[in-house]
Structure 1
């Protein structure tokens, strides 16, 4: 039996094990490891002690490696990245991305049940990851709060632990499962497996995120197991039973996603996201993604008017059009401004299209990516720093010095943030001066910029 120890060198000294294992499950143990040559940290997963003692250990390692190679083909923002398979002695290890963060289960245990908006944010992210996995012909089969990591200081969820992942085409599967999150078909070796199998677990995860306080008061840490519901007639209380603040729409979507019989259950993750109100319905006759020279949109938004205004150098009208389309894509027309959640969830494809149009027609002078470069160059991050934000405002021309008359002479006093009416809509404006309207709330950039502006300029996809 092999257990890697802190400070141990593996794979001919390429990696050094750091501290105690990050975690251990029914199949594997995950270690934190340093690659001295690059200074990078990785997570390396192996089969655990129990698996190593099995007579068919060699066969299990082959399965372990084959599954790792399948996951290595996954490339999605909300799926843990697998880099390669290594060997150290008789033990194989899967080298994965190391994420400094905590699981959703740990997060909820520490902070209590989530608000509906925050819970839906993470479920939407993991739901998109599952749609990607299903499109690749695989099932995860172990969705639960413990298998979802939150990146440190980010509202970003990542799906981990693919130990039970199988091909959708497989008719006979192991009945390994997590009670409370596994659907009834997972209790059988042969059953009606499909995307609806992961839908149940995703719905059960949302159930827990929204009802944890009530569940924990009753000494439970997961929804009623499907086996109990099926054979012991133990009812599953509606989410609203534990949390009256849950909307009826979300309450009903969860219950439909957790139907016992597969044929009655929400069939796909996309349908589940639609039932939750997370999928924006495209407008009629949307602009094809491949049309009009790369004016791509994930939701069918037409960017031709913005392109034409920028091309004509109508900077003010283009700025107003930028706000219109971004509020429409973010489904925030009624509010008139973007909040943190809508910024974090703003489609990458649409954000890039808007930014690239500004950059192209301003000859590289304007655009969100230009603003981001300036902001980052000043040391800006997602965290609040009034000094850096003020310097950014000075740099892009959103603040100006107040000239005061005192004792027969003029003095330059403190800087103040400009109102939207004072913005310069001309290519002679400072670099990064535009787009600007989207940064305003109540006509004053500072109020919005303290939080939402930093989130936008910290987006990795700009």
Structure 2
């Protein structure tokens, strides 16, 4: 069977001998050469298909990436996006000469859509591998670093950054076991870029360094993502849960499976890869490779327990607690996807994140977005969803914002609402006056706001929320 690539086609499958879709009439062959077989991925602005090259003697399989732009975008934007597409495709063509990067077989425009055709890699991603076989051991991490770092050096030597290194973008070839670096995010670069801005935040927030989130990616940013990928593969725990926002450091060793040890040698390299500050991180792939080869291969010694970190009143009060969230995709049992909230918070877009928090609360309660909630609605919010929202706010504000932070302040003032509002910078008499400051310079606990609360007893929301968090054991 062939597959029609036209978005919205009602019956996209057609016989192999058909030249045009029987449902919508669109051509089934691209460039009279590539025949789509089935969809294998989908994003906001593009889709990926398994296809066959009809002109190749062995009918070899390939991967087609289709990028389609919004129909209501103006001509200038479409022209600029098309220009960026061909520029990025040219760079991929150069990168594809490396045996551990999929070769670019073609790129073209057809019916006002843009297409990339790349080599098909028979294998599975490290994300899939870890889910099927369990966490990696130290030997596997060494093999990963030694196999992938030369590939990354090849990329960086050509002044190109990957910008989305993660286990799902590293494949193991079934034929020879070699690691393949995939998905350089051409469609993402084009569609996520505000065409008149200087910086673009590209990547997966869980794996992205702070400077890249602000649109200032560096070679060290790819190294950070590689380091986070390694600690995820060692633990199987979503990266969000392994970062202590208050202490501003990774605590990944606390999440190693019982009985697992990591040598000081590997630990030091991983710690430096994931340093939050660029100046403390490895600057280049060559520097990491040198560190790996220069470090003596001494027998692994049992790791001694690290001394407990110094704890003052505020770090003890606002230190994020480890809950039961184990889903990296941030979709709760209530069916709410928190990926957008995570992205906004990671990017420091506090105002948009505050509005998104209101939106997801309405979604949980099956209410229309921007509907005011009543104090009674707080009781209906599932503990899991409250924990996810609070964890994201606490993590990305480094303990400055979050419902659990507000709860602690509310209890410190002995549940006096006027004093509580004074402490966090809210007026006590008006739930929706223009008082908000969307920056980390705002008072502790200033966000999330109470803009969502309505009803005659709106001011009781703080006490009811604090009680709910207590019952949910969210502190």
TM, length-normalised to structure 1: 0.52
In 1, Cα distance between equivalents of 2:181 and 2:36:
23
Q: Tell whether the 8 Å contact from 2:36 to 2:64 is kept in structure 1 after alignment.
A: no
Identify which of 130, 133, 146 aligns with 1:111: 133
Q: Tell whether the 8 Å contact from 1:240 to 1:246 is kept in structure 2 after alignment.
A: no
Identify which of 215, 219, 228 aligns with 1:195: 219
SS in 2 for 1:87: strand
Q: Which residue of the partner structure matches residue 301 of structure 1?
A: none
Identify which of 45, 65, 69 aligns with 2:65: 45
Answer yes or no: is 1:24 the counterpart of 2:46: no
Shift in Å, 1:27: 4.8
| 1:351-366 superposed matches below 5 A | none
In 2, Cα distance between equivalents of 1:30 and 1:103:
16
Q: Which residue of the partner structure matches residue 185 of structure 1?
A: 211
In 2, Cα distance between equivalents of 1:278 and 1:209:
22
SS in 2 for 1:18: strand
Q: Which residue of the partner structure matches residue 149 of structure 2?
A: 127
Could you give the per-residue CA deviations for residues 107-135 of structure 1, whole angstroms, max 9, x where no partner exists? 11111111222222223222111100111
Q: Tell whether the 8 Å contact from 2:242 to 2:251 is kept in structure 1 after alignment.
A: no
Change (3 A) 1:24 1:110: same
Shift in Å, 1:252: 1.5
Q: Tell whether the 8 Å contact from 2:126 to 2:172 is kept in structure 1 after alignment.
A: yes
Identify which of 242, 260, 267 aligns with 2:256: 242
Identify which of 109, 113, 121 aligns with 1:91: 113
Change (3 A) 1:172 1:225: farther
Shift in Å, 1:15: 1.4
SS in 2 for 1:22: strand
In 2, Cα distance between equivalents of 1:41 and 1:209:
30
SS in 1 for 2:282: coil
Q: Which residue of the partner structure matches residue 272 of structure 1?
A: 288
Q: Tell whether the 8 Å contact from 2:242 to 2:252 is kept in structure 1 after alignment.
A: no
Change (3 A) 1:278 1:64: farther
Change (3 A) 1:209 1:51: farther
Q: Tell whether the 8 Å contact from 1:15 to 1:35 is kept in structure 2 after alignment.
A: yes
TM, length-normalised to structure 2: 0.50
Q: Tell whether the 8 Å contact from 1:18 to 1:31 is kept in structure 2 after alignment.
A: yes
Q: Which residue of the partner structure matches residue 10 of structure 1?
A: 29
Change (3 A) 1:6 1:278: farther
> Across the two proteins, how many residue pairs are aligned to each other?
264
Q: Which residue of the partner structure matches residue 204 of structure 1?
A: 228
Q: Tell whether the 8 Å contact from 1:224 to 1:236 is kept in structure 2 after alignment.
A: no
In 2, Cα distance between equivalents of 1:28 and 1:225:
32
Answer yes or no: is 1:80 the counterpart of 2:106: no
Q: Which residue of the partner structure matches residue 383 of structure 1?
A: none
Answer yes or no: is 1:176 the counterpart of 2:226: no
